[in-house]
Amino acid sequence: MAKVKMLAISLAAPLAAKEEVLFYLQKLGAVEISVQEADGVLTLPDAREAVGALDAGRQKAEAALSLLDRRFPVKKPLTAMLEPRIALTDSQFAERAAEEEQTLGICEELLRLERESQELAADTVRRQTLCDTAEPWAGMELPPLDGHTARTAYFVGSFPGAYDRGGLLNLIARAAPENDCVEAEIVYTLPESTGAVVYCLRGDAESLQRALGGLGFQHAPECESRAPGAFIAAHRKAMEENDRRAAEIDSRMKALSENREAIAFLLDSLSLRRGRAEAEERLPQSGRVFSLEGYVPEARAERIAEKLETDFDAAVSVEPPGENADVPVLLKNRGFAAPLENITAQYSLPGKNDIDPTGPMAFFYYFFFGMMLSDAGYGLVIALATGLVWLLKGKTLERGMKNNVKMYFFCGLSTLFWGAMYGSWFGDAPGVIAKEFFHSDFTLKPLWTDAAKDTMNVLIMCFVLGLAHLFWGVCMKGYADIRNGSVFDAFCDTVPTFLTVIGIAPVFFGLFVQDQMPDGYSALGTFFYNTFMSVHNTLGGVWQYILIAGIVLVILTAGRSAKNVVGKLGGGLYGVYNLFSGYLGDVLSYARLLALGMATGVIGQVMNMLGAMPKNPALKAVVFVAVFVVGHSANLAINLIGAYVHTNRLQYVEFFSKFYEGGGRPFEPLSVNTTYYKFKEEQ
C-alpha cells in the first residue's frame, strides 16, 4: 500500500532540441509537465493554431474510421478487446508518419464521397416523392393548374377518399353552401383518393379555395410540360443516374477502405502531436533555450535526468518538492491489491496526509464480492475464464485490461469459496439434475450452512464481518495519525471507539442470535457457532464495564479540538451520539452481504425448477439445458453487476469514511495516449 514518492524536476535545454525532448518524454510517459509563467526573459509560445489544426485532422480521421466501420464493418472475434495495441519502433513510426498527408487526403475523399452519397440519396427520395404524387395523373394532359377564364375559375387536384361526381359535388356543397354555381369533373378514382377538376364562377374562387382546403384538397403536381407521364419518366431517369453514381461511390469507398490501418495510425499520430503541442504551451522559451518544470517518480528520476543531460545537452535538476507544492498522486501496489487501484481512483486519490487505501481494502473487497455473488458454479466460471485469459494473454494485455482480468479472477475465487460454504452450485443444480434425470438423492452439501435456511445466523456473521471491516478502517485512521506524527490523536481516534462499540455489540447481536444451534450445520459451521457463543457467554459480565470505559473516553476526547470546557463537553456528548447512531447504521448496511447472496442462489434455484418442469424426459432435457444456459447467464450478469456496485459502496461509504479524505490530484505525465498503436517499450 503505497503512494509513489514524487520528485520535482526542472530542465533547461537548447530550443532546437525541444521537439526531441518532448518526443522522448512522451514515449517514456513518466514526467508530468507543470504550467509555468512567463518571467519577462522567457515567454510562453502560443500553440492554439497548431492544436486547432491537429484537432481538425483528428476529427477527419475519426469520422473516416467511423464511416468505414459503418459502411464496411470488419468482423472481430470476441477476444479482440484483449488484443494489445500494435507496437512500433521509432523507425517504423517515422516511416508511417511520412505518409500522413496522403492518408489525410484519403480521409477527406472518403468524407466528400459520403456527403455526395447522402445528397444523392436525399435527391432520390425527393424525386420518388414527386413521382408518387404524379403517378395517379399519368397518361393524361393537365390544364394549367388553378387557372381561370374571363368568367370562371378552376382548381386541379385530389381529395382524400373515393367519390363519384355526385358525391364530390355534395361534399363541396356542404363545405361551401354560399357557392351555388360549382361543377366538378372526375379525372381518376382510387380507394384512397379522387382526382378532379373543380370549376366555379371567378368571383367565388377565393371562398371556394378556402372550402377546398378544409376538405383536405391537394393540388396536382407542378408538371412543367403538363404531361405527368413525361414528368415521371424524367425523374425516374434521374434516379437511375443517382443509383449508378452511388454504385460508383460505393466501389471507390470500398477501395479506399483498404487504408483503414493507415487512417488509424494517422489518428494516433495526430493525438501524439497534439499532446506535445499542448505541452509546448507550458514551456517558457527565449530565442535559444526553453525550460521545463514538473514531477517524476523518484525511482526513475536519476536515469531520466542522466538521459536528458547526455542525449539532449540539457541542464537537469531533481529535488524533493516544496512543502506547499501541488504534488500529483501515483499509486503502486503489488499482488492482489494492484488491480484495485482503479477502484480507489474512482472514489478519489489519496490526499497529502492520506495513506493509500488500496492495500487495506483488498482482502475485504474480494471477500465481500464473493459473499454477495456466492455461487460456486458462477465463481468457477469467472475464475476459469479470467484465469485462462491471464495465462494465455497475460504478457500482452494492456495494463488496464490486465488489472481487470486479475481483479475478476480473485473475485471468482472468492465467489467459488462462498458458494461452496453455502452449498450453491448454479443454485441447486446438482441435486435437481440427480433427481430429475438419474432418480438419485445426491446433492452437494454446504461446507458451512444453507444461507436460505439459516438466515439469522448468517446475518449475524455478516454483522461480525462488517464490524471487523469498520474496525480495520479505524485502525487505518490510527496508523495515519501515527505516521503524521500524532500518537495522541491515534489513541483518541481508535481506543474509545473500540471500547464503546465492543461494549455495546453483545446487546445488538443478542437481538439476533439464536440460543440453540440450528439443525443442518456442517462440522465447520458448528465450530464457528460454538466458538462465537463461548466467547459471548464467557465475557458476558465484562461487556458493560468495557462500554462505560469507552463512553467516558469518547466524552473526554471527542471534543478535544474545542477551545473551552463547554465546547469540549458538548463535542464529547455529540461524539457519543454520533458513534452509536453511526455504527448502528453502518453495521446494518452489511446485511446486503446476505441479501444479495440469497438473491443469487434463489434465482438460480428458480431457473433450475423452470427447466425441470416438463414431464417428458427428452423434452425435459432440452428445456433444462436451454433454461439453464440462458437463465444462469442472465442471473450471473445481473448479480455480477450488483456485487460490484454494492462491494464498492461498502468500501466507499462504510470503510473509507473511517480514515480516508481523498482529494489527491492524479499523476498525468506526457504519454502515449493512443488507441491503436504504441511504441515498443524502451529496454
The C-alpha cell that represents 232 in the structure block: 415521371
Distances (CA, A) of 206 to 170, 198, 200, 347: 19, 13, 10, 72
Residue 683 confidence (pLDDT): 44
Answer whether residue 515 shows pLDDT above 60.
no
If you average pLDDT over every residue of the chain, what do you get?
A: 89
DSSP letter at 612 equals: T
- Residue 498 pLDDT class (50, 70, 90 cuts): confident
pLDDT (average), residues 206-223: 86
Residue 8's SS3 state is: strand
CB 267 within 8 A of CB 676: yes
Q: Please name the amino acid found at residue 344.
A: T
Residue 524 confidence (pLDDT): 55
CA pair distance 572, 556, nearest whole angstrom: 6
pLDDT (average), residues 230-243: 91
- In terms of Cβ atoms closer than 10 Å to its own Cβ (0-12, 13-18, 19+), residue 250 is middle
List Cβ neighbours of 198 (8 Å cut-off, separation of 6 or more).
Answer: 154, 155, 157, 172, 182, 183, 184, 208, 212
CB 480 within 8 A of CB 354: yes
CB 551 within 8 A of CB 579: no
Residue 94's SS3 state is: helix
- Better-predicted residue by pLDDT, 626 or 143: 626
Model pTM score: 0.82
Answer whether residue 121 shows pLDDT above 80.
yes
| Nearest alpha carbon to residue 445 among 422, 479, 462 | 422
DSSP letter at 681 equals: P
Residue 527 confidence (pLDDT): 66
The C-alpha cell that represents 452 in the structure block: 436460505
- Residue 681 pLDDT class (50, 70, 90 cuts): low
pLDDT (average), residues 386-401: 90
Portion of the chain with pLDDT greater than 70, in percent: 92
Answer whether residue 670 shows pLDDT above 70.
yes
- DSSP helix, strand, coil percent of the chain (3-state; round to 5): 65, 10, 25
Largest pairwise CA distance in the chain: 119
Answer whether residue 568 shows pLDDT above 80.
no
Residue 137 confidence (pLDDT): 79
Residue 526 confidence (pLDDT): 65
Distances (CA, A) of 258 to 83, 160, 250, 601, 674: 21, 52, 13, 51, 21
Answer whether residue 124 shows pLDDT above 90.
yes
- Better-predicted residue by pLDDT, 484 or 628: 628
CA pair distance 188, 262, nearest whole angstrom: 60
Q: Which of 33-37, 38-42, 314-318 has the lowest mean pLDDT?
A: 38-42
Helices then strands, each counted (H, E), the chain: 21, 10
pLDDT (average), residues 483-497: 88
pLDDT in tens, 315-366: 999 999 988 899 999 999 998 999 999 999 999 999 988 999 999 999 999 9
Query: Dihedral through CA 310, CA 312, CA 317, CA 323, nearest 10?
Result: -130
Residue 198's SS3 state is: strand
Answer whether residue 222 shows pLDDT above 90.
no
Taken in order of first residue, the domains within the chain and their CATH numbers are 143-219 (3.30.70.2750), 429-658 (no CATH)
Distances (CA, A) of 64 to 54, 55, 112, 122, 266: 15, 14, 10, 21, 11
Residue 138 confidence (pLDDT): 78
- In terms of Cβ atoms closer than 10 Å to its own Cβ (0-12, 13-18, 19+), residue 263 is buried
pLDDT in tens, 403-443: 999 999 999 999 999 999 999 999 999 999 999 998 898 88
CA pair distance 350, 206, nearest whole angstrom: 80
DSSP letter at 142 equals: P
Distances (CA, A) of 358 to 341, 345, 473, 493, 638: 6, 9, 12, 21, 26
pLDDT in tens, 137-183: 776 676 666 677 888 888 888 899 999 999 999 999 999 988 888 99
Partnered with residue 196 across adjacent β-strands are: 157, 186
Residue 489 confidence (pLDDT): 86
- In terms of Cβ atoms closer than 10 Å to its own Cβ (0-12, 13-18, 19+), residue 447 is middle
pLDDT in tens, 283-310: 999 989 999 999 999 999 999 999 999 9
Q: How many CA atoms lie within 13 A of 302 on its CB side?
A: 1
The C-alpha cell that represents 575 in the structure block: 461524539
Where helices occur in 511-564 by DSSP H, the ranges are 523-538, 543-557
CA pair distance 502, 80, nearest whole angstrom: 52
Answer whether residue 624 shows pLDDT above 80.
yes
pLDDT in tens, 41-65: 888 888 899 999 999 999 999 999 9
pLDDT (average), residues 85-96: 90
- Residue 497 pLDDT class (50, 70, 90 cuts): confident
Residue 541 confidence (pLDDT): 62
- Residue 31 pLDDT class (50, 70, 90 cuts): very high
CB 199 within 8 A of CB 208: no
Answer whether residue 67 shows pLDDT above 70.
yes
DSSP letter at 180 equals: -
CA 239 from centroid of its chain's CA atoms: 44
CA pseudo-torsion sign 28, 30, 34, 39:
negative
- Residue 8 pLDDT class (50, 70, 90 cuts): very high
Q: Please name the amino acid found at residue 526.
A: T
